Amino acid sequence: MYGIGVLKGMMATFKRMVMPVATIEFPEVTRPMSPRARTNLLWFDERCTGCSTCAQACPDGCILVETRPNPDGTLEKVRYEIDFRICMYCGLCVEACPYQAIQAGGVFEDAVYEFDSMYKDKHDLTKLAHEHLRRNDYTYPHGQRAPEDVIQLIALEARQSAQPVSKGERVVKASTRG
């Protein structure tokens, strides 16, 4: 009995020795991720009404929403910020949003050199969301296609800036070339 167990263990070892290496050099190369992976939170400005139910549902208090009433009765989003330094990615904000304006998805960019760069305002969040839509055929993480006016806006932004927004986009572009 003892010899058979050792033999099985050695067979597993030899089988693993001839398999290709599974190590991935993270900053330069990333594994493909599902668009629905729970990595970053994506905030879509065009879907948000400023109701702040996401901020009320957040147990960490990392979402800040400041609005101002418009004459037509809607709310103007003055500030929308997410502090990813204290976010625990529980997804309660995603569940609370009645308009699906905040969704889990996006590139995995939580590894940063400057801790303060994890604090995102509405402009940074919009860049991340537009980048996600552009890379995923203008489809939201929950599967719905973006409206045509948003697609045209993102296409216009892409023509104006030749530089990729995130390191995740550079990795995706590099892996699709070769």
Which domains, ranges and CATH numbers included, belong to the chain?
A: 34-177 (3.30.70.3270)
Q: What is the pTM of this model?
A: 0.71
> Which of 73-87, 123-137, 161-175 has the least mean pLDDT?
161-175
Q: Residue 50's pLDDT band (boundaries 50, 70, 90)?
A: very high
Tell me the angle at which helices 148-160 and 122-135 cross, rounded to the nearest 10 degrees: 100
Task: Give residue 54's pLDDT.
Answer: 95
Task: Give residue 125's pLDDT.
Answer: 92
| Contact of 105 with 132, CB cutoff 8 Å | yes
Task: Give residue 122's pLDDT.
Answer: 93
| Contact of 84 with 118, CB cutoff 8 Å | yes
Question: What's the mean pLDDT in 147-159?
Answer: 89
Task: Give residue 172's pLDDT.
Answer: 47
Higher confidence at residue 171 or residue 68?
Answer: 68
Task: Give residue 30's pLDDT.
Answer: 74
Query: How far is it, in rounded angstroms, from Cα 160 to Cα 155?
Result: 9
Task: Give residue 10's pLDDT.
Answer: 92
